[in-house]
Amino acid sequence: MKKLILLLCLFPILSLAQIHRCVTDSLHRYKLDTDLNYKANFLQTEKSFQLQNLLKSATNDTVYTIPVVVHVIYHTDNIAVENISDEQIQSQLDVLNEDYNTNNENIIDVPAIWQPLVRNSKIKFVLANTDTNGNYTTGITRTATKITNAFSIFDNRIYSKVDGGEDAWNSNFYLNIWVCELENNILGFAAFPGTISNSDGVVINYKAFGRFKNTNAPYNYGRTATHEVGHWLNLLHIWGDDNGACSNDDAISDTPKQANSNTRCPSFPKTDACTDTAPGIMYMNYMDYTDDHCMMFFTNRQVERMKLALATVRHSLVASNGLASPNINQTDISIDSIENPVKYSANRCFQPKVKIRNNGNTTQSNIVFNYAVSAGISKNLIWKDSILSGETKWVDLDEIGGDLGSNLFEVRIKNTDYNQVNNYKSASFRINNTSNFNCDVLSSISIYPNPITTNNSLTIDAKYSESQKATIKIFSNDGRMVYSNEFKFNPQDKLQISNLNLSAGIYQLEFNGEINHDVKKFVVVNK
């Protein structure tokens, strides 16, 4: 029987009233009492963590990049839901990288008294490029299982391909994440570092994996994985799993003692029996149980403990070939990162900027980008510059806008190539300013008159140099399409559209041409 060393985190998914306790402490003590190998490995790991010379090597500013492989296990009768998309998987990697590098937009909400404790771990997570045999990989495996029931926390079939799950890739060199259906509304669990087990990694319920798409509120920001990967890097629950006794803690000196876990979103400050004075307990820490959008940060000492794990018991990850650049004899353009927007935007309108890489063996040009903010109306841009094989370049996209508060920027490469997984990227950010509302600074079309009256006749002046067919779509302020038609545009054409029958309000006109793509706002007023 395979050894199973787990940190369990039981959360409700379908019913917020059905709160499950985490059984980390009881299972951990059980394994210490019954599994000699587990006990020896655990004690050795903890001994290493006490050595100050190792601590010094772990608390520097080293950037650790961890190769990740995601094993999707889905029931054949629920393939459309459980076999989650490439974009959903990539969105989870985006969340991990934001949270572990203080690029999450809600980091600004950390109470002022604890802001000095916030630390960028400089730990990065990337889907593996190379598998255990040295072959090119997307970093994702997909397994259709004939197992009909949801998996339990003790079900070793998750980690066995012959039994209906998927074998781990060498855990010395990869972070294995299994995504599947878990019973009893369990969101996820993880393995301690230093254990010898084919289940070394993290298991996440598909309902809580990724950001927004197909996930269940209030666990739809991808923070289950942030929490579980923290366990995988040797972080304990912030309250110490001592049933409110206030005798244990999380072995972290800069987190206050805490009686028990928190759910939902408490109000700051919150005190309890273990810390009864302000600022109280640190319920917004990633290692508590609050709702996803209320989790915000790791502390200095938590980062030290994680980096110590990477400098000692998980040090072999540094030597992994999982991120080696493979030789791809096909077309593969990837979105490497988003430079803007990240975390904050001063204005409602901004110019996105992304970094792309040519992983293939031929020069590429005419790359088509599709992008949107918070699932709003998307824009397209054809980038006509060229990018050589192995080269990286920054691409400035046309201006786009969002709403005050929290937003999600998503960008896709629409060209067909060998690896579609790396054609998507997302970034959470917050808009703090109402200025520069009209996001049309870079537009190549104009609409007049603007505003127009409710007789609804407008003229579109397209300042393009090439003839093309284009579909004109008009959307109301609530996102409804109220007009669509196709036209042939020649250079400098002016198109008049009459009898639109639009009520007063703000509208957005989208020009979707064979070559050019643009968006323009206009206003309809009463006569």
Catalytic residues: 228
What gap in Å lies between CA 30 and CA 42, rounded to an integer?
A: 13
8 Å CB contact between 89 and 68: no
Pairing of strands 353-358, 392-396: antiparallel
Other C-beta atoms within 10 Å of 441: how many? 10
Distances (CA, A) of 406 to 292, 297, 461, 462: 14, 17, 34, 33
What gap in Å lies between CA 128 and CA 409, rounded to an integer?
A: 24
- Residue reference for tokens 């802001």: 115
Read off φ and ψ for residue 494, nearest 5 degrees: -125, 120
Long-range CB pairs of 251-256 (<8 Å, 24+ gap) are 251/305, 252/299, 252/301, 252/302, 252/305, 253/301, 254/117, 254/299, 254/300, 254/301, 254/302, 255/282, 255/285, 255/299, 255/301, 255/302, 256/280, 256/281, 256/282
Read off φ and ψ for residue 346, nearest 5 degrees: -70, -30
What gap in Å lies between CA 457 and CA 327, rounded to an integer?
A: 56
8 Å CB contact between 376 and 479: yes
What gap in Å lies between CA 13 and CA 435, rounded to an integer?
A: 39
Looking from the CA of 331 toward its CB, the CA atoms found within 13 Å total 13
3-class DSSP state of 240: coil
What are the residues facing 176 on neighbouring strands? Answer: 69
Contacts of 108 (CB under 8 A, 6+ apart): 344, 430
What gap in Å lies between CA 217 and CA 229, rounded to an integer?
A: 20
What gap in Å lies between CA 465 and CA 311, rounded to an integer?
A: 58
CA 255, 260, 266, 268 torsion: positive or negative? negative
Looking from the CA of 162 toward its CB, the CA atoms found within 13 Å total 0
What gap in Å lies between CA 492 and CA 495, rounded to an integer?
A: 10
Distances (CA, A) of 146 to 1, 83, 379: 21, 14, 41
Q: What does the DSSP 8-state code read for residue 10?
A: E
